[in-house]
Amino acid sequence: MKQIALNRLDELFAAISARQTLLIPQQLENGDAEFRPWSAEAKLYTGLKTSRSAKDAFFPQVENLVGFKVSEQGIELMDTRDEVQPFTLFGVRGCDARSFDILDRVFLAEPVDTFYADRRAAATVVTLACNRPETTCFCQSFGIDPSRPAGDVTCWMDAENLYWQPNTDKGRALTEALSLLEEGEEARAKRVEEDIQAVLKRLPLKDLSLDHVGAGKTKALFDRPEWAELSEACLGCGACTFVCPTCQCYDIEEFKSGGSVRRFRCWDSCMYSDFTLMSAGQPRPTQTERFRQRFMHKLVYYPDNQDGLFSCVGCGRCLVKCPIHMNIVKVINALKEGTA
């Protein structure tokens, strides 16, 4: 274990940044927090979670996949892909770290998404234990330990120091390159971990039951009458999907610009009425069907296909962002009780 005094964090960030691009959570002018490249003026966001998740580092909201030049001679492919350089993603919380595993099973399965794969391979993920889990957090229900998050490096913070524990070859390589890290006091990091564990025991959603959802529950849940009432007020705004670290739906669009065409990948949302719209029509024509799809995917279909792993990490972002105060916890509870 290593450590560094909190008043030397900027030195640590400068040292990482001298080696490779460093992304840290930062507060934006509009009050939101996001992972952004570190600069000498940047300040580490000390709140718990970024507004959008850390998945942006691997699966950006918009990316130019390829271009085409069209002429009388034919169509010429334009390689618009930026070469991915090694980078460090610092300050990832345990929920977002688990979301990478969930996304990996989609984007790294055959056929491998090489855009995503290149970024995953280039990244060193440094996670940060959650000193102050919030009342909307329920990552524990999914077996995530926010007091000791997984990552290439795991960090803990107390009032004086950042404690730094490398876990993987990538994490050890980064650690060896940072000579300013001092020998760490493991007992102090352990105390932070224990303090977090004590907070976790008091969280209101700590006992969220998942026994009635999961792999094999399609038959039991698909036709439940609660879906209609739960989805009644849903605006189909997609806010829940855009802040979600595990949502992975996208659309491919092409745009003409001068003599060329550019093909973009953009996040999409299963909550939108034109999502999966085909020439034959919309397979989920009502908001109730679209709403059901979102939650069945996270709570039943994904676990069906991925050895029981849920596609929710309990980050609580959808609990905060939904304009009608609907969220996955309400869905889980309503399906359990049988009444919405």
Chain residues 183-242 in contact with ligand SF4, contact rule CB under 6 A:
234-240
Are 152 and 86 spatial neighbours (Cβ–Cβ below 8 Å)?
A: no
Q: Is 316 in the site for ligand SF4 (CB under 6 A)?
A: yes
Q: Which residues lie below 8 Å from residue 82, measured CB to CB, with a gap of 6+?
A: none
Q: Is 94 in the site for ligand SF4 (CB under 6 A)?
A: no
Q: Which is nearer to ligand SF4, 1 or 299 (CB)?
A: 299
Task: State the minimum distance, in angstroms, from the CB of residue 315 to ligand SF4.
Answer: 4
Task: State the minimum distance, in angstroms, from the CB of residue 237 to ligand SF4.
Answer: 4
Chain residues 252-281 in contact with ligand SF4, contact rule CB under 6 A:
271
Chain residues 110-139 in contact with ligand SF4, contact rule CB under 6 A:
none
Q: Which is nearer to ligand SF4, 126 or 313 (CB)?
A: 313
- Piece in contact with ligand SF4 (CB under 6 A), picked from 161-169, 183-191, 260-268, 324-332: 324-332
Q: Is 249 in the site for ligand SF4 (CB under 6 A)?
A: no
Using the rule CB under 6 A, which residue among 67, 181, 298, 335 binds ligand SF4?
298
Binding site residues, ligand SF4, CB under 6 A: 234-240, 243-246, 271, 298, 312-318, 322-324, 326, 328
